[in-house]
């Protein structure tokens, strides 16, 4: 053990005086509490916790104490510095929280400002309706078939039992090409796709064929020279008109809802025998033929039914022309106009909107119809 500290300075040592330590702590706590900002608190920390702070000085004095006094003084100063440190940390947390809070408030923006800087594009609803129908049938195990729009007359007419004398082959309906004896036309129906499919594939065949078709009608509210059809063709062993009805009912449900009822009646088409015409119950008036005010229903013209389209069992002659044995296989086919379905399902007023290409038309539909 060494002798008495010859450097002992009573003045200096007074920093360790308990009263002085308490005073320094009180002074620090007051300053900490009074720090109004993180910057203030930083100054307070330097003054009361820094190297030149009273408590730091007191701490330094401990070394000069006699060993017997060191422990007690050290404890006292350590507690004092701990109290000050905790107070600074607490105040620091408080002030940081206040600052964070304030920043969030300051950073507020008006999120109702217009946010889309790039105009949205859109799909054409004709395409979306075609996709919807195709997808539903694909889901039932069918496939999607396609063919060219400029088609041979044989595929568009002859093979479909539309012989040379059929009215549809005359100039008033069909776009013929130059030279007129080219044997080529703009297809008047999607049915040549049926023929191509039957020529190229072995039964069983279950295909839907959506596509563009052409007739020499001038554009008006209900006609357009270029329009879209979707056709279904099934060829298999043992297919009956009951299956045809089943497929048609599926079609109607997909387009107009689960509850839609249908009725069928005999009709005539050269490519089918027997032939069938299908009506579905008007979705606007639910078959009553009039609206709530009692006026004639505009969707169905008062009959309560809307014509869906022609269908039937594929004519044996058509099967034969495609090399399919009509004694082994039977099949059915049906088709409908997509524009008309769109008018009915989406209340489109007329053909003009669908064919003019005004961006407002496509843009009002989403990407799924």
Partner 1 sequence: MRMPLRWLAEYTDLAPGTSGADVAAALVSVGIEEEDLHGGDITGPLVVGRVLELEEQVQKNGKPIRYCVVDVGENGQMLTEGKHQEIVCGAQNFEVGDLVVVVLPGATLPGGFQISARKTYGRVSNGMICAEDEIGLGHDHDGIIVLTRLLGEEASADLKPGDDAIALLGLGEETIEANVTPDRGYCFSVRGLAREYWHSQGSPEGGFRDPALVETPASNDLGYTVRVEDDSPIDGVAGCDRYVARIIRGIDPTRPSPAWMQQRLTQMGMRPISLAVDVTNYVMLAVGQPLHAFDVDKLSGSIVVRRARPGETLTTLDDVERTLSPEDLLITDGGEHLLAIAGVMGGASSEVDASTTSVLVEAAHFDSTSIARTSRRHKLVTEASKRFERGVDPALAATAAQLAVDLLVEHGGGTVDDGVTDLDRTTEPPAYLLDVTEPSRIVGLDYSRERVVKILRDLGCTVDESGQGTDETHVLVTPPSWRPDLVNDSPGPDYAEEVARIDGYNNIPSVTPTPVEGQGLTHGQKTRRVVADALAGAGFTEVLTYPFVAESLADELMLPADDDRRHAVRVANPLSEERPLLRTSVIASLVDALRRNVSRGHKDVALFELGLVFRPGGPLGRAPIPSVLQRPDADTLEQLYAAVPDQPRRAGLLATGLVERAGWWGPGRAADWSDAVAAVRTVATALAVDVVVANDPGHAPWHPGRCARLTLPDGTLVGHAGELHPKVLAALDLPPRTVAAEFDVDVLVSASAEPVQARPFSTFPPALTDIALLVRSDVAAADVEAALCAGAGEALESVVLFDVYEGERVEAGHRSLAYRLTFRAADRTLTTEEVNGFRDAAVAAAATATGAVQR
* Residues near Zn ion (CB under 5 A), total: 6
DSSP letters of 199-267?
HHSPSPEEEEEEEEEE--PPP-SS--SEEEEEEEEEEETT--HHHHHHHHHHHHHHHH-TT--EEEEEE
Half-sphere exposure of 170 (CA within 13 A, CB side): 4
**DSSP code for 322:** T
Q: Which is nearer to partner 1, 85 or 289 (CB)?
A: 289
Distance (Å, whole) CA 248 – CA 128: 20
Name which of residues 287 to 306 contact Zn ion (CB under 5 A): 297, 299-300
Q: Does 285 bind Zn ion (CB under 5 A)?
A: yes
Encode burial over 150-174: b for 16+ CB neighbours within 10 A, e otherwise: ebbbebbbbbbbbeeeeeebeeeeb
Residue 151 binds which entry of Zn ion, partner 1, none, CB below 5-8 Å type-dependent = partner 1
Residue 330 binds which entry of Zn ion, partner 1, none, CB below 5-8 Å type-dependent = partner 1
State the nearest-atom distance from the C-beta of 104 to partner 1, in Å. Answer: 22
**Pair 48, 55: CB distance under 8 Å:** yes
State the nearest-atom distance from the C-beta of 357 to partner 1, in Å. Answer: 3
Q: Give the residue, chosen from 145, 185, 252, 282, that forms a contact with Zn ion under the rule CB under 5 A.
A: 282
Tell me the Ramachandran region of residue 98: left when phi exceeds 0, alpha when psi lies from -120 to 50, beta otherwise: alpha
Residue 236 binds which entry of partner 1, Zn ion, none, CB below 5-8 Å type-dependent = partner 1
**Pair 232, 207: CB distance under 8 Å:** yes
Tokens of 207: 């295909």
* β-strand pairing of 205-214 with 184-186: unpaired
State the nearest-atom distance from the C-beta of 302 to Zn ion, in Å. Answer: 7
Residue 173 binds which entry of partner 1, Zn ion, none, CB below 5-8 Å type-dependent = none
Q: Which position has the token pair 């689960």?
A: 258
Q: Does 344 bind Zn ion (CB under 5 A)?
A: no
Residue 285 binds which entry of partner 1, Zn ion, none, CB below 5-8 Å type-dependent = Zn ion
Tokens of 181: 């004896």
State the nearest-atom distance from the C-beta of 290 to Zn ion, in Å. Answer: 8
Q: Does 138 bind Zn ion (CB under 5 A)?
A: no
- Nearest 5°: phi and psi at 186? -80, 125
Q: Which is nearer to Zn ion, 290 or 320 (CB)?
A: 290
Residue 329: strand, helix, or coil:
coil
State the nearest-atom distance from the C-beta of 307 to Zn ion, in Å. Answer: 12
According to DSSP, the residues that pair with 150 across neighbouring strands are 186
Q: Which is nearer to partner 1, 51 or 181 (CB)?
A: 181
Question: Positive or negative CA dihedral for 33, 36, 42, 48?
Answer: negative
Q: Which is nearer to partner 1, 178 or 258 (CB)?
A: 178
Nearest one of 134, 242, 144 to 194, comparing CA atoms: 144
Residue 300 binds which entry of Zn ion, partner 1, none, CB below 5-8 Å type-dependent = Zn ion
State the nearest-atom distance from the C-beta of 296 to partner 1, in Å. Answer: 8
Q: Does 284 bind Zn ion (CB under 5 A)?
A: yes
Residue 191 binds which entry of Zn ion, partner 1, none, CB below 5-8 Å type-dependent = none
State the nearest-atom distance from the C-beta of 277 to Zn ion, in Å. Answer: 18
Enumerate binding residues for Zn ion (CB under 5 A): 282, 284-285, 297, 299-300
């Amino acid at each position: 053990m060494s002798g008495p500290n010859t450097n002992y300075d009573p003045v200096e040592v007074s920093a360790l005086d308990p009263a002085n330590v308490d005073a320094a702590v009180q002074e620090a706590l007051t300053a900490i509490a009074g720090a109004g900002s993180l910057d203030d608190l930083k100054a307070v920390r330097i003054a009361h916790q820094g190297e030149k702070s009273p408590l730091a000085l007191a701490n330094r004095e401990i070394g000069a104490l006699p060993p017997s006094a060191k422990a007690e003084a050290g404890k006292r100063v350590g507690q004092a510095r701990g109290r000050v440190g905790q107070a600074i940390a607490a105040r620091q947390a408080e002030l940081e929280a206040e600052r964070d809070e304030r920043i969030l408030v300051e950073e507020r923006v008006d999120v109702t400002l217009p946010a889309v800087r790039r105009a949205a594009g859109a799909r054409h609803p004709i395409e979306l309706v075609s996709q919807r129908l195709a997808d539903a049938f694909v889901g039932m195990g069918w496939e999607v078939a396609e063919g060219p729009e400029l088609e041979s007359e044989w595929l568009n007419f002859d093979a479909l039992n539309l012989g040379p004398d059929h009215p549809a082959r005359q100039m008033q309906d069909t776009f013929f090409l130059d030279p007129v004896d080219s044997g080529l036309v703009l297809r008047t129906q999607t049915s040549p796709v049926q023929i191509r499919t039957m020529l190229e594939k072995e039964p069983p065949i279950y295909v839907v064929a959506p596509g563009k078709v052409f007739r020499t009608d001038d554009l008006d509210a209900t006609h357009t020279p270029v329009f879209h059809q979707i056709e279904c063709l099934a060829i298999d062993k043992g297919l009956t008109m009951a299956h045809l009805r089943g497929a048609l009912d599926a079609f109607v449900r997909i387009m107009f809802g689960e509850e839609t009822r249908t009725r069928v009646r005999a009709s005539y088409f050269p490519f089918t025998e027997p032939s069938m015409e299908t009506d579905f119950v008007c979705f606007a008036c639910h078959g009553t033929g009039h609206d709530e005010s009692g006026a004639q229903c505009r969707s169905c013209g008062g009959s309560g039914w809307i014509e869906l389209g022609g269908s039937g069992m594929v004519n044996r002659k058509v099967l034969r022309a495609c090399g399919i044995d009509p004694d082994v296989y039977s099949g059915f086919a049906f088709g409908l106009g997509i524009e008309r379905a769109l008018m009915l399902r989406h209340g489109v007023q007329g053909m003009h909107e669908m064919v003019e290409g005004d961006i407002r038309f496509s843009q009002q539909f989403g990407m799924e119809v």
